[in-house]
Amino acid sequence: MNAENAIEVNDLKKSFKVYMDKGSQLKERVLFKKRNRYENREVLKGISFEVKKGEAIGLIGHNGCGKSTTLKLLSKIIYPDSGTIEMKGRVSSLIELGAGFHPDMSGRENIYTNASIFGLSKKEIDARVEDIIEFSELEEFIDNPVRTYSSGMYMRLAFAVAINVDADILLVDEILAVGDAGFQTKCFNKMKEIKADGTTIVIVSHAMGQIEQICDRSIWIHEGEIKAEGKPREVDPQYLEYIASERKNVTKKHLDKGNSKKEQEEEKEKKEECDSDTKDKTRWGNNKARITALRMLDEKGCENNTFITGEECVLEIKYNAKKEVENAIVGIGIYTLDDMRVYGTNTRIDNLPTFFLNESGTIQFRIEELPLLSGNYYLDVAIEQDLNTPVDYWRKAVSFNVFSKKEEAGVSQIKHTWLIK
C-alpha cells in the first residue's frame, strides 16, 4: 500500500440475490418453490480508486448506483465478492447511526458502549464524554433511557459519538440532516473542522453544495462503475446534466403513452423545464423558481461591477416562482477565476427564519465592508428547496473586479494591529 494513501480500493465487485417473492416459512418454501426464484443483481462491477491521507472525496450518483454499497464495504458491514480494500488507521462510520444502542440503557451508558465499538478504551471515553454530551445538546436527558428519546435526539447522540472518536478515516452516508437547522449547521462545521485536522473523509451525498464545500474530489458512480472523477466543480455539473437528461427522456416516454390532456400539459411543462436545464451547463435545477436578474450595486445604490476593498457591496437577486418553493434556501459562493472558493454562505447557515418563495420578488445580499483584495472574481448564486434540492443553481452568474488601495497580498483583507515594544 502506498504510504501516502489512507484507502486503496482495487477491482471491487459485489452482487446481491434479489428474490421475486421469497417465502418466510419452511412450509411456504416447500409448497411454493417458484417463489424462491431470484436474480443475481451486480451492484459493483469492478471499481478502483485511491484516497490520500487527509483527502476528502464525495461519491455521487443516482439511487441504486452502488455508492452506499461502496461505503458499507469500506466500513466492513458487508464484504465484496472479489477485489481488495486496504485502509490505514481508525475508522469511524456515520452510516447506520445508533447501531448498537440499547433502548433500556441511558444515553450516557450508550456513549460508552458505542464508543467502545469504535475502538476507544474506557480511559479515552472518560476524557471526551463531556464533549460528546455537550455536542449532542442532550445534557438534560443524557441519563434517561434511550427508548424515551425522539428520533431526532437519538440521531443527535449517535452523530455526537461517531464524530468525536478521533478517527483517521470518516465514512459518511447522507446523514448531515440530523436535527434542526442549527444543529445541521453545527454538524457541517464539525465536518469541515475535522477535515482541517487531517482526517480522511469519504462522503455520500446528493447535496452538491456539501460535496463542493467539503470534498477535494468527486467520484461519479454509474451502474456499478466509475463514470467520472475529478474536482467537484468539474464532475458535479456532468452528473447534474445527466440527471436532467434522464428526466427529459422519462417525460418524453410519458408523453408518448397518450395520457389525458391535463397530464400531457403537466408533462409538457416538466419537459420544458428539463430542456432549459440541459441547454445551459452552467445552470441547473427543477425550475420551480427562476432567477430572472442579477445586479451588483455599490454604496450609492448604482449598478457597478468594480469595487474598492472596504466598500459596501450589494448583490440584488430578482426571481420569479412558477410554483411555491417551501423551505427555500438562497445561497452565494465567491470564487477566484481559477475556481478557488473564497467564501460561501446561505440563508440556512446564517440562521434566517424559514421562508417561502411565491410569485416574484427581490433578495439582497449585503456586504458592509468588502474584504476582498485586488483581483477578478465571480459569484455562484443558488436557490434550493430544503437542503438537497436545487431549484435554480447558477454557476458563474456574475463577475466583478476589486481594487485595493494598499499593496496587500492574498485574496482577503484581515483586520489587524501591530504592537512593537
Can you tell me which residue has the cell 467537484? 232
Q: Give the whole-number percent of the chain exceeding pLDDT 90.
A: 43
Per-residue pLDDT band for 252 (boundaries 50, 70, 90) equals: low
Can you tell me which residue has the cell 412558477? 322
Neighbours of 22 (CB within 10 A): 14
In angstroms, the CA 60 to CA 361 distance is: 33
Q: Per the domain annotation, does 410 fall within a domain? A: no
In angstroms, the CA 160 to CA 187 distance is: 9
Q: Which residues contact 289 (CB under 8 A, 6 or more apart)?
A: 319, 320, 321, 322, 323, 325, 328, 357, 383, 391, 392
Judged by average pLDDT, the poorest of 133-137, 186-190, 202-206, 305-309 is 186-190
Per-residue pLDDT band for 33 (boundaries 50, 70, 90) equals: low
- Over residues 404-417, mean pLDDT: 87
Q: Per the domain annotation, does 94 fall within a domain? A: no
**What residues form DSSP beta bridges with 230?**
218
Residue 364, SS3? Answer: strand
309 within 8 A of 373, measured Cβ to Cβ: yes
Q: In this structure, are 315 and 377 located in the same domain?
A: yes
319 within 8 A of 330, measured Cβ to Cβ: no
Q: Per the domain annotation, does 82 fall within a domain? A: yes
- Over residues 369-395, mean pLDDT: 89
- Domain termination site, one of 243, 263, 279: 279
In angstroms, the CA 104 to CA 98 distance is: 14
Q: In this structure, are 241 and 323 located in the same domain?
A: no
Question: Residue 82 above 90 pLDDT?
Answer: yes
Question: Between residues 254 and 220, which one has the greater pLDDT?
Answer: 220
pLDDT of residue 28: 60
Question: Residue 392 above 50 pLDDT?
Answer: yes
pLDDT of residue 260: 56
The DSSP string of 107-152 is: HHHHHHHHHHHTT--HHHHHHHHHHHHHHHT-GGGTTSBGGGS-HH
Q: What is the mean pLDDT of the chain?
A: 84
- Over residues 27-56, mean pLDDT: 79
Per-residue pLDDT band for 98 (boundaries 50, 70, 90) equals: low
Q: In this structure, are 251 and 309 located in the same domain?
A: no
Q: In this structure, are 73 and 220 located in the same domain?
A: yes
Q: Which of 176, 139, 141 is nearest to 159 (CA)?
A: 176
Question: Between residues 18 and 64, which one has the greater pLDDT?
Answer: 64
Judged by average pLDDT, the poorest of 2-16, 26-40, 176-190, 261-275 is 261-275
**What residues form DSSP beta bridges with 290?**
320
pLDDT of residue 255: 54
Torsional sign, CA 141, 144, 145, 149: negative
CATH of the domain at 298: 2.70.50.60
Q: What is the pLDDT of residues 348-378, one digit of tens each?
A: 888 899 899 988 999 999 999 999 999 999 9
Neighbours of 34 (CB within 10 A): 7
Q: In this structure, are 288 and 379 located in the same domain?
A: yes
The total number of residues shown for the chain amounts to 421
In angstroms, the CA 306 to CA 403 distance is: 8
Q: What's the domain count of the chain?
A: 3
Q: In this structure, are 208 and 331 located in the same domain?
A: no
Per-residue pLDDT band for 22 (boundaries 50, 70, 90) equals: low
pLDDT of residue 179: 59
- Over residues 209-229, mean pLDDT: 88
Q: Per the domain annotation, does 178 fall within a domain? A: no
pLDDT of residue 54: 92
Q: In this structure, are 275 and 307 located in the same domain?
A: no
Q: In this structure, are 221 and 334 located in the same domain?
A: no
Q: In this structure, are 13 and 40 located in the same domain?
A: yes
Question: Between residues 41 and 266, which one has the greater pLDDT?
Answer: 41
Q: Where in the sequence is the domain holding 362, given as residue range(s)? A: 283-403
Q: What is the 3-state secondary structure (H, E, C) of 243-303?
A: HHHHHHHHHHHHHHCCCCHHHHHHHHHHHHHHHHHHHCCCEECCCCEEEEEEEEECCCCCE
pLDDT of residue 314: 95
End-to-end CA distance of the chain: 53
Q: In this structure, are 275 and 374 located in the same domain?
A: no
Q: In this structure, are 81 and 202 located in the same domain?
A: yes
Question: Residue 93 above 50 pLDDT?
Answer: yes
- Domain termination site, one of 245, 261, 279: 279
pLDDT of residue 360: 92
Judged by average pLDDT, the poorest of 171-185, 288-302, 374-388 is 171-185
Per-residue pLDDT band for 180 (boundaries 50, 70, 90) equals: low
Distance, C-alpha 167 to centroid of its chain: 20
Question: Between residues 174 and 52, which one has the greater pLDDT?
Answer: 52
C-alpha cell at 80: 465484496
Q: Per the domain annotation, does 149 fall within a domain? A: no
Q: What is the pLDDT of residues 114-142, one digit of tens each?
A: 888 888 889 999 999 999 999 988 999 99
- Over residues 259-267, mean pLDDT: 55
Q: Per the domain annotation, does 113 fall within a domain? A: no
Q: Per the domain annotation, does 153 fall within a domain? A: no
Q: Which residues contact 160 (CB under 8 A, 6 or more apart)?
A: 132, 133, 135, 136
Q: In this structure, are 349 and 246 located in the same domain?
A: no
Q: Which residues contact 268 (CB under 8 A, 6 or more apart)?
A: 255
Q: Per the domain annotation, does 162 fall within a domain? A: no
Q: Which residues contact 3 (CB under 8 A, 6 or more apart)?
A: none
CATH of the domain at 19: 3.40.50.300
15 within 8 A of 42, measured Cβ to Cβ: yes
Q: Is the pTM of this model over 0.75?
A: no
Please give the torsion angle defined by the CA atoms of residues 153, 159, 160 and 161, in that order, rounded to the nearest 10 degrees.
Answer: 110
